Amino acid sequence: MRAAPTILHLDMDAFYASVEQASKPSLQGKAVIVGGLGPRGVVATASYEARRFGVHSAMPMGQARRLCPNGAYLIPRFSLYRQVSDVVMAMLRELSPLVEPLSLDEAFVDLEAGGVAFDSRTARETGERLRADIRAATGLSGSVGLAGSKMLAKVASEEAKPAGLLLIEPGTERELLAPMSVRTLPGVGPATGEHLRRAGITTVGELAEAGEDELVRMVGRSAGAGLYRMALGLDDRPVVAERDAKSVSVEDTFDVDLHDRVRIRGEVQRLADRCVQRLRGSGHSGRTIVLKVRRYDFSTLTRSETLRGPTDDPAVVREAAARLLEGVDTTGGVRLLGVGVTGLADYTQEDLFAQSLAAEPDGAEGAAGSGGEAAEAGGAEAEAEGATGARKAAGTPGEPEPSPERRWAAGSDVRHAVYGPGWVQGSGVGRVTVRFEQPGSEPGRVRTFRVDDPELEPSDPLPLVGETV
């Protein structure tokens, strides 16, 4: 624990939804829900306007639509979110060499290591300046927590939301934490919270009063000791600048169960190529190929194959994934597929025979969400992208999908030869509705076109702050 509040935690406010509102002027101040738009999609992020209706992340999209029928429901645009995140993270690294990103929109910063803060006054000034700089550079708001430990800094940023700053003075931790719910503490989820509630413990203060011995008896030695330390506000974890990625993976959830074996093989091949793109983008190679299959009854199978050396060759990953698929029964239908690579390295062993020299495949079978699921390098993004599952699978089994240029998902960027840049509000019955506006403009006009209009094309996202087109 530090004697000065020089650990900063930044959490961008409703990040995905805020980016969408900033890039689409007509949605500012409106309820915006980002996620998978199909029948099995879930909410990735909801704007604060949507949260007033009870919509929250990880909620099934169908439930969100019932709670907030007039909200704007949009697909996620991860390329734009990464661009904005890169800007924010670069600003944090200007403050200190010790920046620990937790996701695209969240990070810890050791201000003392950067020489920019040594006491409460300089820490607060740095936090306020950071918030103003982020607003100027991106047009977005972030909440800042400042404290003498990582745990308390994160608690402070949560209490500061939205668009605020809270500094916890060292020595006031227990007084601040005492009335808060036990769910405030990291690692206390619904199950642990309910277990503690049944024992009459609902606040952090009651947790501290229970004592370490009682908590150990209730939840076990490791968890009990950890809970007691957190209840006292004790946390001596350092800010770690780099987190080594353990794995890279991609997955898609399908609106309609896949039954056709040829179609399933094609999807696995496509996922393998996407996985390799991410692998190369992160500067890694990997030795173990993982296939994930969630079947019609929600049971999840994982199969893995370990190569003799690390690879980033798409052909090797495709062939390994195809071999793994051969050992999986998909007769009843498949609702989710995923391909991942683990055992990451920062070099590649050029081995043309790697696929034939692979070790014997090994696998694990269990309920949905069981062990063996490959975690995405970058954490929260994987959770969001896997949750949204924005892939369509309707149609006749084996039928080729329509050209991506003719699929107009709500929220996607487009450009018209006459009217310029805009975004898709919706499509159906052969028509697509587009609102023509861009970041910084006035709310734009809405026009409707045929889905095959040759003058309408998909487009890359425009920057949130900068020159208009």
371: left (phi over 0), alpha (psi -120 to 50) or beta: beta
Using CA atoms, how far apart are residues 385 and 337, in angstroms rounded to an integer?
A: 13
The answer to whether 279 and 312 have CB atoms below 8 angstroms apart is: yes
Task: Calculate helix-pair angle for 78-95, 15-23, nearest 10 degrees.
Answer: 110
Q: How many other C-beta atoms are found inside a 10 Å radius of the C-beta of residue 24?
A: 24
Return the closest-CA partner of residue 292 out of 318, 319, 324.
Answer: 324
**194 given a catalytic annotation:** no
The answer to whether 285 and 414 have CB atoms below 8 angstroms apart is: no
Q: Which of 106, 112, 376, 385 is catalytic?
A: 106
Separation in Å, CA 150 to CA 76, 208, 238, 307? 29, 19, 8, 39
Tokens of 267: 């999807």
Q: How many other C-beta atoms are found inside a 10 Å radius of the C-beta of residue 416?
A: 17
The sheet with strand 362-367 has its strands ordered as: 247-258, 334-345, 285-295, 299-311, 362-367
H runs (alpha helix) in 24-70: 48-51, 61-67
Q: Specify which residues 247 forms β-bridges with.
A: 342
CA atoms within 13 A on the CB side of 452: 4
CB within 8 A of 254, min separation 6: which ones? 40, 334, 335, 336, 337, 389, 391, 392, 393
The sheet with strand 32-35 has its strands ordered as: 43-46, 32-35, 72-74
Return the closest-CA partner of residue 24 out of 431, 406, 459, 462.
Answer: 462
Using CA atoms, how far apart are residues 373 and 359, in angstroms rounded to an integer?
A: 20
Tokens of 127: 């936090």
CA atoms within 13 A on the CB side of 21: 23
**Unique residue bearing structure tokens 């609106």:** 255
The answer to whether 23 and 435 have CB atoms below 8 angstroms apart is: no
CA 120 to chain centre: 32
Catalytic residues: 106
